[in-house]
Structure 1
Amino acid sequence: MTRRGTIAGIARHAFPKAPMEVIDQVDITVEGGVHGDFRGTVKPGGRGRRQVTLIERGDWDAAMAEVGHNIAWQERRANLLVDGLDLPQVPGTLLRIGDVILEITRQTDPCERMEMLATGLTAALSVDWRGGVCTRVKAGGDIAVGDEIGIEEP
């Protein structure tokens, strides 16, 4: 498994069903996840298991090939596009991007919106965690496209 990769894209949406805004850099906080993204805020009594979502470029490309489309990655509605790193499929694994530490909580299940983008996309993203991972923010900081992402060794 590759232990290091790069952040190839950053996206956020301000409210449910809002269009995704692609940005070059962003602040990530323990309280709010990706600044400006409505999903990152930990709700009262919540556990924040879906503060920041990540998807591998290779997995998105494979899903696109499977359904015969070329849809922009941000339409997956993930926050971070990762290039060159196999995201671990193990809840509790820590990822580091500079000062930011993210804890993998679960896989990101594809929603019904994926099927509206392309017939068969939900199934294509359901295989082997191809839809990405959900994370909880353990330490915040600023990140930018091009930053290195790696697996935190225990």
Structure 2
Amino acid sequence: MTGRLAGIARHAVPKGPMAVIDTAIVTLEGGIEGDVRGRVKPGGRGRRQVTLIERGDWDAALAAIDRDIPWQERRANLLVEDFDLPHIPGTRLRIGPVLLEITMECDPCHRMDAIADGLRAALTPDWRGGVCTRVIEGGTIRIGDTIRIEES
């Protein structure tokens, strides 16, 4: 099963605006270059270096609240389409040359309700808010790259 990388976003400062980009360098030490959340802190495990959300899950959440909001407002780094993100920590995903390992569900925070009433609840069921990952192998990713589960 393969899908496609449909969006890349990053934010340079905590709570800062998300910048949508077409290409990103991904590193083991910093996640997506220029994204404040990707840097592994001293003694940290880097469990939230890169976050992913499915287009279908984002669309379902918006339908539940009857709103149209750009995907990057979710504050995820990567938007994937035609792909079901596994809900199993330890699963490895290949996007172009980059290898990511799912560490946990990306729980929606209270900031989602600041964007639109009910958005947090709409993102809560069935890992609809996406997944958090750590970088296993870095490289450059681009919109249109294939995403797939990496067989061990």
What TM-score do you get using the length of structure 2 for normalisation? 0.99
Render the CA deviation track for 1:83-131: whole Å, top value 9, x for unaligned.
0000000000000012100000000010111001111111110100000
SS at match of 1:134: strand
* 2:108 aligns with one of 98, 110, 113: 110
Q: How does 1:89-108 map to 2 (within 5 A)?
A: 89-108=87-106
| Structure 2 gap ranges (5+) | none
> What SS class does the counterpart of residue 37 from structure 2 fall into?
helix
Partner of 2:3 in structure 1? Answer: 5
For structure 1, the residue ranges without an aligned partner over 5 or more in a row are none
Root mean square deviation, CA, Å: 0.5
Of 129, 132, 148 in structure 2, the residue corresponding to residue 131 of structure 1 is 129
For this pair of structures, how many residues does the alignment match? 152
Instruction: Describe the SS at the equivalent of 1:96.
Output: strand
Distance 1:152 1:63 in 2: 28
Q: For 2:115 and 2:35, how far apart are their aligned partners in 1?
A: 21
TM-score (norm 1): 0.98
Cα deviation digits, residues 48-74 of structure 1 (max 9, x gap): 000000000000000000011000000
Distance in 2, matches of 1:83 and 1:99, equals: 18
Q: Which residue of 1 aligns with 2:80?
A: 82
SS in 2 for 1:40: coil
Q: Which amino acid aligns with 2:11?
A: H
Give the drift of 1:153: 1.4
**SS of residue matched to 1:38:** coil
Aligned to 1:62: 60
Aligned partner letter, 2:73: E
